[in-house]
């Protein structure tokens, strides 16, 4: 069941530490999963093939209900390179934080449990990472059937567009993503959010000095069954856009556009019934309330990120 999470702190902790600028060959793969053993099995089979190109450890971070947990154990036991990490936190962002904390390698690759990597995908992510210097995050290309994930640039109405060739990316999609473990430990995934947690992390990590890079050679395909967004997800959307326009890249003009044109663009998707529009308005309000409640924590995170970028 899809849920929007506003009942816990946005960050478990902030532990800023120097983020390595050098290259590395030390990679761990984190796979968040919950109650989807069939997809997890296909995900791990694809990762097993990818290990023929580059050896890596896999950390499966599972929060499945008890009646499905035994099947996850059985699946993971088939692969000696898999370490199963069980936890009770809610959401993919929380699972990625759990995996980042447990990971012993210098670099973390997150792969969604419904994403099936090509055999060269992890090796290609690492190769692109090592072609660059400084703090950087590298995303692969995921085929969703009707579209492919691309590096994104935010528009003034709060929705992204694909970055043009040579244009710096502002947002990367988390389905297939490599980042330094120290970056994820210092500025964790926001456990309030699903979806748009990758949008939020992109804004925060850019504040910390990270360059967002795309790897066209690191490819994967998404499962043909997709999660569907609902009006309730507008809460996550406006929360993330408020962080962007108020703290990450302050702009009164963009904030006004988010609140007016952005709301209208969201409403256009849900004008199927008066009830849907009411649910959208309620979610929009919830997003504002959550942002106001988290404001001090978010401001502290953005300030520490800026300070780290200035030192770097």
Give the pTM: 0.93
Cross-strand bridge partners of residue 59: 30, 83
Would you say 17 and 86 are in contact if contact means Cβ atoms under 8 Å apart?
no
pLDDT tens figures, 297-309: 999 999 999 998 8
Domains of the chain, residue spans: 27-222, 231-311
| Nearest CA-CA partner of 247 in 285, 304, 310, 169 | 304
**Six token digits for residue 31:** 């796979």
Mean pLDDT for the stretch of residues 71-84: 96
pLDDT tens figures, 114-133: 999 999 999 999 999 999 99
- Distance separating alpha carbons of residues 198 and 139, to the nearest angstrom: 11
Would you say 158 and 42 are in contact if contact means Cβ atoms under 8 Å apart?
no
Predicted local distance difference test score (pLDDT) of residue 6? 57
Region 27-222: CATH code: 3.90.550.60
pLDDT tens figures, 251-300: 999 999 999 998 888 888 777 666 788 888 999 999 999 999 999 999 99
pLDDT tens figures, 12-42: 788 888 898 888 999 999 999 999 999 999 9
* 3 pLDDT more than 60: no
* 67 pLDDT more than 60: yes
3-state SS class at 7: coil
């Amino acid at each position: 069941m899809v849920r929007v999470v506003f009942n816990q702190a946005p960050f478990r902790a902030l532990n800023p530490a120097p983020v390595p600028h050098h290259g590395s060959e030390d990679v761990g793969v984190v796979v968040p999963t919950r109650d989807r053993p069939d997809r997890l099995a296909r995900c791990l089979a694809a990762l097993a093939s990818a290990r023929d190109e580059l050896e890596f450890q896999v950390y499966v971070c599972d929060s499945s209900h008890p009646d499905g947990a035994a099947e996850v154990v059985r699946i993971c036991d088939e692969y000696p390179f898999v370490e199963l990490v069980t936890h009770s936190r809610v959401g993919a962002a929380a699972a990625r934080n759990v995996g980042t904390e447990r990971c012993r390698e210098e670099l973390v690759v997150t792969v969604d449990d419904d994403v099936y990597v090509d055999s060269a995908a992890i090796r290609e992510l690492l190769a692109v990472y090592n072609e660059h210097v400084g703090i950087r995050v590298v995303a692969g290309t995921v085929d969703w059937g009707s579209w492919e994930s691309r590096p994104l640039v935010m528009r003034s109405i709060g929705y992204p567009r694909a970055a043009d060739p040579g244009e710096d990316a502002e947002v990367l999609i988390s389905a297939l993503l490599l980042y330094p473990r120290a970056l994820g430990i210092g500025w964790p995934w926001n456990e309030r959010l699903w979806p748009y947690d990758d949008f939020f992390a992109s804004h925060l990590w850019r504040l910390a000095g990270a360059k967002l890079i795309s790897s066209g050679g690191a490819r994967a395909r998404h499962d043909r069954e997709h999660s569907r967004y609902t009006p309730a997800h507008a809460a996550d959307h406006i929360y993330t856009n408020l962080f962007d326009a108020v703290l990450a890249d302050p702009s009164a003009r963009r904030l006004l556009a988010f609140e007016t044109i952005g709301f209208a663009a969201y409403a256009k998707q849900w004008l199927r019934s008066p009830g849907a529009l009411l649910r959208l308005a309620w979610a929009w309000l919830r997003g504002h309330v959550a942002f106001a409640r988290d404001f001090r924590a978010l401001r502290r995170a953005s300030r520490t990120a800026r300070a780290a970028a200035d030192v770097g």
